[in-house]
């Protein structure tokens, strides 16, 4: 860092740590993407870091290394409670204590029983410890999928779809390309590149022949490709794009969402991209944790809805969700929903 940056609040420092964590999201599996910032006693940023790929360094250790002697008496700001265990790397709490950091601020506690206890250990060593800073932003943001996995043992599933304002994902003749804008597609490809797996049903492979790769705006492949997962009983042709060499592909011969979840148990962040039958099955099974809808300002009409049977016979039994955020992607709306 050439110019020492000053942050005028701990919230601002935590926002910087969140920014760091987003840089590595999708690359740390099975570890959480954590961000860390070290402030010197004057409140200047003297080191930043984010978790390396599994087996590599944790965020705090990298940030401390960059800070060197300037960390003494300073503040470490971390998105996750620093770990307290010898895993693939030594405990981060040891590194913080050895660097003579005065205060540690973190957003969310580490739910991993093996690694937790860092806060207590730091306090016992005489450091000031504060938790909960921007905890909601971190828990709903960069650590959302990892925390879900820790809590449930299952991967976090985001159902993504693109539709017209009247909820159609294709026109009556089945044509579906370019419902969403270029800005929406760029946003989607960015999300694909940080997911662990992208899943579709065999019907979607047969109808649309998607490549299910993460691509950059110029059409080239992103550096990192998620696992492609095809679910269903129907045969897919050997020349389907989803079977090309651009990424790995897993075919799961079942219709049962719970069986699919078991097959993906070692994943954290799964993007379900349709079609309407598979999305319906997952919704009926309660296996969707987040909905991301790209909604385009157009009307299409006809029978091709984004999802078909969700198991709701009457309005009193509607599946009720709540809006979690609304953004614009070009001319479209990007709506995020979480279970109520």
Calculate helix-pair angle for 59-67, 10-24, nearest 10 degrees: 120
Whose Cβ is closer to ligand AOF: residue 90's or residue 167's?
90
Asked if residue 320 belongs to a known ligand binding site, the reply is no
Closer CB to ligand AOF, 14 or 115, in the complex: 115
Q: In the annotation, is 145 catalytic?
A: no
- The residue within the footprint of ligand AOF, chosen from 53, 88, 100, 259 (CB under 6 A), is 88
**From CA 266, how far away is CA 87, in angstroms rounded?**
18
Contact 258, 287 (CB under 8 A): yes
Residue from 26, 47, 82, 257 in contact with ligand AOF (CB under 6 A): 82
Selection from Zn ion, ligand AOF, none that 87 binds (CB < 5 to 8 A by kind) is ligand AOF
Query: Could you tell me if residue 90 is left (phi over 0), alpha (psi between -120 and 50 degrees) or otherwise beta?
Result: beta
* Binding span for ligand AOF by CB under 6 A among 79-87, 153-161, 237-245, 300-308: 79-87
Give yes or no for residue 51 binding ligand AOF (CB under 6 A): yes
Q: Which is nearer to Zn ion, 25 or 290 (CB)?
A: 25
- With 0-12 / 13-18 / 19 or more C-beta atoms within 10 angstroms meaning exposed / middle / buried, residue 333 is middle
Per the CB < 8 A criterion, the answer to whether 69 and 75 are in contact is: no
The catalytically annotated residue of 60, 98, 145, 182 is 60
Using CB under 5 A, which residues numbered 91 to 110 contact Zn ion?
92
47-81: burial string, b at 16+ Cβ within 10 Å, e else: bbbbbbeeeebbbbbbbbebbeebbeebbbbbbbb
Q: Which residues partner with 174 through β-bridges?
A: none
88 binds, among ligand AOF, Zn ion, none (CB under 5 to 8 A by kind): ligand AOF
Q: Which residues are catalytic?
A: 60
Binding-site ranges for ligand AOF (CB under 6 A): 31-32, 34, 51, 58-60, 80, 82-83, 87-89, 92, 110, 112, 115
């Amino acid at each position: 860092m050439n110019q020492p940056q000053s942050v005028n609040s701990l919230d601002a420092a935590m926002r910087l740590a969140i920014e760091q964590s987003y840089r590595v999201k999708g690359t740390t599996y099975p570890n959480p993407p954590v961000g860390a910032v070290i402030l010197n006693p004057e409140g200047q940023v003297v080191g930043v870091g984010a978790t390396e790929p599994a087996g590599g360094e944790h965020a705090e250790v990298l940030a401390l290394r960059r800070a060197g002697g300037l960390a003494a008496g300073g503040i470490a700001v971390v998105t996750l409670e620093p770990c307290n265990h010898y895993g693939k790397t030594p405990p981060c709490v040891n590194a913080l204590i050895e660097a003579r950091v005065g205060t540690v601020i973190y957003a969310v506690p580490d739910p991993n029983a093996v690694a937790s206890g860092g806060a207590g250990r730091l306090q016992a060593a005489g450091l000031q410890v504060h938790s909960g800073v921007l905890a909601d932003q971190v828990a709903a943001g960069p650590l959302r999928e990892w925390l879900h996995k820790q809590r449930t043992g299952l991967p976090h599933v985001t159902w993504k779809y693109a539709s017209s304002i009247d909820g159609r994902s294709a026109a009556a003749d089945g044509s579906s390309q370019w419902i969403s804008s270029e800005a929406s597609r760029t946003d989607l490809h960015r999300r694909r590149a940080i997911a662990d797996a992208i899943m579709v049903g065999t019907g979607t492979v047969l109808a649309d022949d998607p490549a299910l790769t993460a691509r950059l705006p110029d059409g080239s492949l992103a550096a990192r490709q998620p696992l492609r997962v095809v679910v269903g009983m129907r045969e897919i042709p050997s020349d389907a794009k989803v079977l090309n060499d651009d990424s790995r592909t897993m075919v799961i011969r079942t219709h049962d969402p719970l069986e699919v979840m078991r097959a993906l148990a070692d994943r954290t962040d799964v993007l379900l991209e349709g079609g309407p039958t598979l999305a319906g099955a997952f919704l009926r099974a309660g296996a969707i944790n987040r909905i991301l809808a790209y909604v385009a300002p157009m009307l299409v009409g006809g029978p091709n809805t984004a999802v078909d049977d969700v198991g709701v016979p009457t309005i009193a039994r509607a599946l009720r969700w709540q809006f979690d955020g609304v953004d614009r992607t070009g001319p479209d709306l990007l709506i995020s929903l979480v279970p109520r």
